[in-house]
Copies of this chain bind each other. A is one copy, B any other.
Amino acid sequence: MDIDLIRRLSAPNNTKVLLCVLDGLGGMQGPRGRTELEEAHPRHLDRLAEEGITGQTVPVGLGITTGSGPGHLALFGYDPLVYEVGRGVLEATGIDFPLGPDDLAARGNFCTVGADGLITDRRAGRIATEKTAEICELLQREVKLDGVEMFIRPVREHRFALIFRGQGLSPELNETDPQREGVAPLEVVATAPAAERTAALAREFVAQARKLIGDRDQANALTLRGWATPPSLPQLPELWKLRAAAVAVYPMYRGLARLVGMDVLETGTTFDSEIETLAKHWDDYDFFFMHYKYTDSAGEDGDFARKVKAIQDFDVRIPEIMKLNPNVIVIAGDHSTPAAMADHSWHPVPTIIRGDYVRRDEVHHFNEPETLRGGLGIFPAKELLPQAFAHALRLSRFGA
């Protein structure tokens, strides 16, 4: 989307727009020559496709396989090549850490070093998350740095997120994980002159941390990677002049929604609870992003049947969702995850826009081969949301 044009043309009204993201939705032909969507034969999605207009989104670029971060930014209307979300930022958002504009984030690993300071285990024996939480609490309490706030939070097993908060921090730092054992963790050094002060702070952090944990058997050292500052994303509510909320179980998607300015609603750990949350807050917002994870997990596991089932499980809940009576509902995926590849892929992702003002096409089933003939064509994912909002009459006319 053209941010300046959207800012100029967006206009508030009373419509409700619901964006349902089925993670890793797109698939490929499986054992019987049909894709997961074809095999699922999802009657409610088929109905939405029949009533709505369909097409296929290209998340980042033709032939480009994308991660969930860029995939979602594109569905939120942002060019993922312009607004890059670094690894450290994803790790912090992935644990619901509320990143601010002055934050610098890194992914950390606790590791084990021998008496000679050389790494003997890059993952400290994959210590329990609870152990990592204890160490993080210790470091949070004892490490003192001049001129910046520091936050250290457990992620999972030996992994943690480190955030520095302060003015003038730079992500132009090297990664300190040597990616192999038998060598010492690298020292933090600046890869650009503007990062010298940040590098010194990071070294000071590492030195203090090493003193505090150096006598432990396992997690007695650490490495840092993926230094990143949050991208300065135009905020979705201001841009579109609406109230926006996210319903997602998994932290990374909550974090991505927060990065673009959505309110992140409290919800449970199941899709049921997501639907309840959606219903509960239906009157409070104009735009909802709801995330459904299980299509991707099954695809990543290479489990064709489970991906089919995950589609069907979503499908049966559509009548309940439609009872909320959204003016526009969008069905989309952040990328394809064909079970046949057990991985994300570059293949375009089927999508539907269903609302009062869609010009219908001749697609009757929601799947990869049929949506090729859809009225939306094959188009960049970042252009999906503007079209959804257009169908909610939330974009005024350009020119006279």
Contact surface of A with B, Cβ cutoff 8 Å: 1-2, 5, 9, 26-29, 35, 60-71, 80-81, 84-85, 87, 90, 336, 338, 340-341, 344-348, 357, 359-362, 368-369, 372-375, 377-379, 383, 386-391, 395-400
Cβ-defined contact, A63 with B389, below 8 A: yes
Known pairs A65-B390, A369-B375 / 11 extra A-B pairs, C-beta < 8 Å: A2-B61, A5-B81, A62-B386, A63-B386, A63-B391, A65-B395, A67-B398, A68-B399, A80-B399, A341-B357, A362-B369
- A29–B375 Cα distance when bound, in Å, is 13
Least distance between A271 CB and chain B CB atoms (Å): 23
Interface pair A67/B377, CB less than 8 Å apart: no
Complex contacts, A84 vs chain B, CB 8 Å: 399
A5 to chain B: which residues have CB within 8 Å? Answer: 61, 64, 81
A/B interface sample: 28 pairs, CB < 8 A: A1-B61, A1-B63, A2-B61, A5-B61, A28-B357, A28-B359, A29-B360, A35-B359, A60-B398, A61-B386, A62-B383, A63-B386, A63-B390, A65-B390, A65-B396, A65-B397, A66-B397, A67-B400, A69-B399, A80-B398, A84-B399, A340-B357, A348-B375, A361-B369, A361-B372, A372-B373, A372-B377, A377-B377
The CA of A220 and the CA of B61, in the complex, are separated in Å by 55
A286 to B: closest C-beta gap in Å: 17
Among A1, A5, A65, A396, which residue has the most Cβ atoms of chain B within 10 A?
A65
Complex alpha-carbon distance, A66 and B396, angstroms: 9
Q: Is the CB of A344 within 8 A of B81?
A: no
For the complex formed, measure the closest distance between the CB of A329 and the CB atoms of chain B, giving whole angstroms. 16
Provide the residues of chain B in CB contact with A340, threshold 8 Å: 357
Contact A399 B63 (CB under 8 A): no
Main secondary structure of the interface of A (DSSP, over half): loop
Shortest distance between the CB of A251 and any CB in chain B (Å): 13
Across the interface, do B28 and A395 meet the contact criterion of CB distance under 8 Å? no
> A114 to B245, alpha carbons, bound, how many Å?
50
B359–A400 contact, CB under 8 A?
Answer: no
Instruction: Select from chain B the residue with minimum beta-carbon distance to A353.
Output: B63
Question: What residues of B have a CB within 8 angstroms of the CB of A345 in the complex?
Answer: 357
A394's nearest neighbour on chain B, judged by CB, is B63
Give the number of times this chain occurs in the complex, counting copies.
Answer: 2
State A64–B386 Cα separation when bound (angstroms).
Answer: 8
User: Are A400 and B90 in contact, with the CB atoms below 8 A?
Assistant: yes
Contacts of A70 in B (CB 8 A): 398-399
CA distance A399 to B388 in the complex (A): 25
What's the minimum C-beta distance from A214 to chain B, rounded to whole angstroms? 31
Q: Please, how many angstroms separate the alpha-carbon atoms of A119 and B324 in the complex?
A: 46
**Closest beta carbon of chain B to A373's beta carbon, Å:** 7
B362 touches A400 (CB 8 A): no
Alpha-carbon gap, A5 to B65, bound state (A): 12
Q: How far is the CB of A243 from chain B (nearest CB, A)?
A: 20
How distant is the Cα of A28 from the Cα of B400 in the complex, in angstroms? 22
Give A347 to B345 CA distance when docked, in angstroms: 30
A40 to chain B, nearest CB (A): 16
CA distance A26 to B374 in the complex (A): 17
Bound form: Cα–Cα A374–B68 in Å: 27
Cα distance, A344 to B345, chains bound together (Å): 36
Tell me which residues across on chain B come within 8 A of A62, comparing CB atoms.
379, 383, 386-387
Partner of A64, one of B66, B87, B395: B395
Q: Chain B residues near A386 (CB, 8 Å)?
A: 61-64
A344 to B357, CA, bound (A): 12
Give A390 to B59 CA distance when docked, in angstroms: 14
A359 near B347 with CB under 8 A, answer: yes
List residues of chain B with CB within 8 A of the CB of A27.
Answer: 359
